[in-house]
């Protein structure tokens, strides 16, 4: 498993569209994701009902919702602060999550809900210490037993976009404490 590596360049073909099974909830990514995580932690396994979760991390203001808004459902998380899962109120498919640290400013879009999920393979595998033993990662895949140092893994343009969002994240976190 790799220790330090940068993900492959993001596919610049945007917008990318997706949504739930019944098509009531539709969304459009107007930019490439900051990064695509394949998370093998036990929480993601339980929440997804699968052996991992594949999430495209992107700023919320780079996701357009042309129709109905999803329902936000508060669920437990490993941090103890919970996460909001955006679900279709009809078919109940989860389309993204908002984790407590970034709140509503960042979306972890479920790659499987994209119309073309093949277009966003994982940039990095995380929490592989708890991956299912029968899941075999490609030998050259960036993979970490737990998490990683963002500056060593993310593309420079993703780091710059995150840096631009940090003041808003800090303000959100301060509001949550206050």
Model pLDDT, residue 128: 98
Model pLDDT, residue 9: 47
Q: What is the mean pLDDT of residues 52-77?
A: 95
Could you write out the DSSP letters of every residue in 68-93?
PPPEEEEE--TTSS-EEEEE-TTT--
Nearest to 117 by CA among 29, 3, 2: 29
Q: What is the mean pLDDT of residues 37-60?
A: 94
pLDDT digits (tens, 9 = 90+) for 155-173: 999 999 999 999 999 999 9
Rounded to whole angstroms, the Cα distance separating 157 from 153 reads: 12
CATH number of 16-177: 3.90.1590.10
Write down the domain spans for the chain.
16-177
Torsions phi, psi for 102 (to 5 deg)? -100, -10
Q: What is the mean pLDDT of residues 85-93?
A: 97
As beta bridge partners, residue 53 has: 39
Model pLDDT, residue 12: 56
- Classify strands 16-19 and 26-29 as parallel, antiparallel or unpaired: antiparallel
Phi-psi category of residue 174: left, alpha or beta, with phi > 0 → left and psi -120 to 50 → alpha: alpha
Q: What is the mean pLDDT of residues 94-123?
A: 96
As beta bridge partners, residue 18 has: 27, 114
Rounded to whole angstroms, the Cα distance separating 154 from 138 reads: 19
Model pLDDT, residue 6: 44
Rounded to whole angstroms, the Cα distance separating 177 from 1 reads: 38
Q: How far is CA 151 from CA 6, 8, 163, in A?
A: 9, 15, 11
């Amino acid at each position: 498993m790799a220790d330090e590596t940068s993900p492959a360049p993001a596919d610049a073909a945007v917008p990318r569209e997706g949504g739930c099974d019944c098509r009531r909830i539709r969304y459009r990514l107007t930019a490439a994701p900051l990064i695509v995580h394949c998370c093998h932690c036990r929480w993601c396994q339980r929440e997804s009902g699968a052996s991992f979760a594949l999430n495209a991390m992107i700023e919320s203001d780079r996701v357009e919702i042309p129709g109905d808004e999803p329902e936000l459902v508060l669920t437990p998380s490993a941090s103890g602060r919970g996460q909001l899962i955006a679900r279709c109120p009809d078919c109940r498919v989860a389309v993204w999550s908002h984790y407590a640290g970034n709140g509503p400013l960042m979306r972890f879009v479920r790659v499987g809900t994209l119309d073309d999920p093949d277009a966003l393979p994982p940039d990095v595998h995380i929490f592989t210490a708890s991956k299912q033993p029968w899941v075999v990662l490609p030998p050259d895949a960036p993979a970490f037993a737990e998490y990683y140092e963002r500056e060593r893994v993310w593309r420079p343009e993703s780091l710059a976009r995150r840096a631009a969002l940090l003041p808003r994240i800090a303000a959100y976190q301060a509001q949550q404490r206050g």
